[in-house]
């Protein structure tokens, strides 16, 4: 997003603004074979009226379930300025949406990123599997505890029936 306000922004409000032409996004990740994979895209590279490009970027990771190692976002700088306007984020969750708010433009360290994650059925299946494993382990512990208690009772009964010659 552009991170701009229509007028002066209050101190505690982060301006979202609207989408802007020119941001550049690049990522590095490790693929399923262990090789480093890079990808990049530009946002709204057309400047025509009613451009056909979408106001966001979709970066396809392929069959990778790993986190993005590094995500770099850069925005264009005004002509005559020499400072680089880019920021890096690490360990971004795949299958999520990341909204970057570059405010203020000239201080990349203060840019904020909001990560939106939509959980799928896999989260529910994982929770069910975890609960099932816990119940299975509790059943094994209960059976072993019951067998130990039964063996202790049997030993106590055998000890009670034994005649002690020392007592005479």
Angle at CA of residue 135, ends 131 and 136, nearest 5°: 115
**pLDDT tens digits for range 41-78:** 888 777 667 667 777 777 777 666 678 888 899 888 88
| 138 compared with 53, residue with greater pLDDT | 138
- Longest CA span, the chain: 111
Chain centroid offset of residue 92 CA: 6
pLDDT, mean of residues 86-115: 84
pLDDT, mean of residues 111-131: 85
CA–CA dist 160, 60 (Å, integer):
74
pLDDT of the residue at 166: 61
| 120 compared with 112, residue with greater pLDDT | 112
Look over the chain and give the mean of its residue pLDDT values, rounded to a whole number. 82
**pLDDT tens digits for range 4-37:** 776 667 666 767 777 777 888 898 888 878 888 8
């Amino acid at each position: 997003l552009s991170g701009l306000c229509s007028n002066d922004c209050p101190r505690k409000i982060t301006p979202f603004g609207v989408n802007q032409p020119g941001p550049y996004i690049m990522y590095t990740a490790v693929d399923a074979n262990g090789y480093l994979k890079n990808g990049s895209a530009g946002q709204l590279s057309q400047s025509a009226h009613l451009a056909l490009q979408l106001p966001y970027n979709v970066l396809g990771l392929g069959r990778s379930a790993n986190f993005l190692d590094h995500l770099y976002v850069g925005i264009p700088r005004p002509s005559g300025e020499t400072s680089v306007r880019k920021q890096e984020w690490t360990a971004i969750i795949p299958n999520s949406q990341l909204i970057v708010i570059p405010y203020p433009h000239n201080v990349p360290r203060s840019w904020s990123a909001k990560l939106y994650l939509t959980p799928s059925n896999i989260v529910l299946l994982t929770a069910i599997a975890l609960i099932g494993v816990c119940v299975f382990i509790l059943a094994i512990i209960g059976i072993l505890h019951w067998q130990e208690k039964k063996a202790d009772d049997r030993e106590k009964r055998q000890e009670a029936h034994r005649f002690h010659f020392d007592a005479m």
